[in-house]
Amino acid sequence: MAKLLFEYCLKLIDFFSRIKNKTCGITTDGATNYVKAFSTFGLDSIDNMPDSGEEDSIQEAPIDIVTILTEPGDGSEVWLPKNFRCAAHCLSLVAKKDAAKAERDQHYKKLSRGFFGQVQGLWNFQARSNQKSDDILELIGSKFIIPNETRWNSHFDALVDIQKKIDKNPEGMWKVLERMPGLRRFRDVELEFLKEYITVMTPIAQGLDKLQGDQDMSLGYLLPTITSIKKKLNRISSNLRHCQPLLDSILTGLSTRFDHLYDDDDFLLATVTVPMFKTMWTEDAEIKSRSARLLKQAEQRIVSSEEEEEVEMPLVGRQNSFFEIAQEEEEQDGEAVQYLRSKDTNLKSLKKWPKIEKVFRKYNTPLPSSASVERLFSRGSLVFQTKRHKLLDSNFEIHVFMKSNAALF
């Protein structure tokens, strides 16, 4: 499976021949087959995300690397670019798998299971019974949001919807619960739990929405997003009565899955070249100085490469060569220093510093999330319906392209 993915990725990169030599990285989820492909055939074998610990991981047989790499004509001299694990997927795992570890605390476990059992009962009645669904609409004016099992965001949005309905029409909610067999009113402690749960999970949901965006999003947004989530969570830690175990589990999960990225030069360069962030997104002096140093080094590499391409110009002013006059070189701040001193946070300001713009383009080309591709697949399924199942590949591609870029036309 790893070799098949390797060959398919190479064909895909080769298909878009104009970007063949400009591919900076490939963003995937944390499935075992992708991890194996990039760890075996990747140019940079260092994983930038830890193992996701998914239950559906695929167990593969050992691969004879020597045999694969010595096979003639198999493209083994070509390596895959760096692999970036989908940050939105990892953040969802924090909200689901890591948050579930809070149930090691018995008080939290009893309270959460009792409350979520009640909520799941409401969702089940609405989804499975037209009569109950009509009763809900009649009593509270709108139906509940039913969460999607594969998207944690939808679960959070459904809980926020319940909270809003309770605040807006509590009597209607109690009547709904009374009409549902086996359900009861929420206790006061459960309502407190719901508010605390939403308070704790709001920074995670906001971070996911940011990382999964299509506009104004690049790899340089990941570290500031994670840092902001941690700051928001630490500020609310002293105001919790029931969800402190949940908060602790989430902070631990964030550290386990993301802390090593703060030591990755690619992520630091991607972040420091975003004018909105530069080195202002962190309070860590070591990260600030390291980011500035990396940016200066990247600028120097560009300067060196440009100097090598320069054509040697003929000497002029030979008549003054008799006088041995020491020429004082005028020291000027490089673009990196000027850029870091600037207070301009607009992305267009990079035009002032062409070398910094080159660094930005190199390290911010990858996206932190694969959500954009998943949305593209969803649009493809909307095009490929029963009446269109005989579309040619070229026509199908045109339809998906037009549907995905409708806003531009």
What distance in Å separates the CA atoms of residue 358 and residue 292, rounded to the nearest whole number? 16
pLDDT band with cut points at 50, 70 and 90 for residue 146:
very high
Burial class (CB in 10 A: 0-12, 13-18, 19+), 85: buried
**pLDDT, tens digit, 9 for 90 and up, residues 239-284:** 899 999 999 999 999 999 999 999 999 999 999 999 999 999 999 9
The answer to whether residue 319 scores a pLDDT higher than 60 is no
75 three-state secondary structure: coil
Rounded Cα distance between 200 and 196, Å, is: 6
Per-residue confidence band for 359, with pLDDT thresholds at 50, 70 and 90: very high
pLDDT tens per residue across span 333-342: 688 999 999 9
- Ranges 29-43, 45-59, 141-155, 216-230, most confident: 216-230
pLDDT on residue 85: 85
Mean per-residue pLDDT for 57-84? 50
**CA 359 to CA 365: how far, in whole Å?**
10
* Number of neighbours of residue 107 by Cβ within 10 angstroms: 11
Region 362-371: what's the mean pLDDT? Answer: 88
pLDDT band for position 152 (50/70/90)?
A: confident
pLDDT in tens, 106-122: 999 999 999 999 999 99
Q: With 0-12 CB in 10 A as exposed, 13-18 as middle and 19+ as buried, what is 153? A: middle
Q: Which helix (H) or strand (E) holds 270?
A: helix 265-272
pTM: 0.79
| Domain residue limits, the chain | 2-85, 94-255, 264-307+334-367, 371-408
Which has the higher per-residue pLDDT, 118 or 9?
Answer: 118
Cα 381 from chain centre: 24
Report pLDDT for 228: 96
| Cβ pair 220, 277 in contact under 8 A | yes
Average pLDDT score over the chain: 81
What is each CA distance from 240 to 145, 233, 236, 359, in whole angstroms? 27, 11, 7, 43
- Do residues 172 and 139 lie in contact, with contact meaning Cβ atoms separated by under 8 Å? yes
What is the average per-residue pLDDT within 199-210? Answer: 94
Q: Where is average pLDDT lowest: 74-83, 259-268, 282-291?
A: 74-83
Query: Residue 59: its pLDDT value, please?
Result: 42
Q: Average pLDDT in the 385-400 region?
A: 82
The amino acid sitting at 190 is E
pLDDT band with cut points at 50, 70 and 90 for residue 303: confident
Percentage of the chain beyond pLDDT 70 is 77
Band of residue 330 on the pLDDT scale cut at 50, 70, 90:
very low
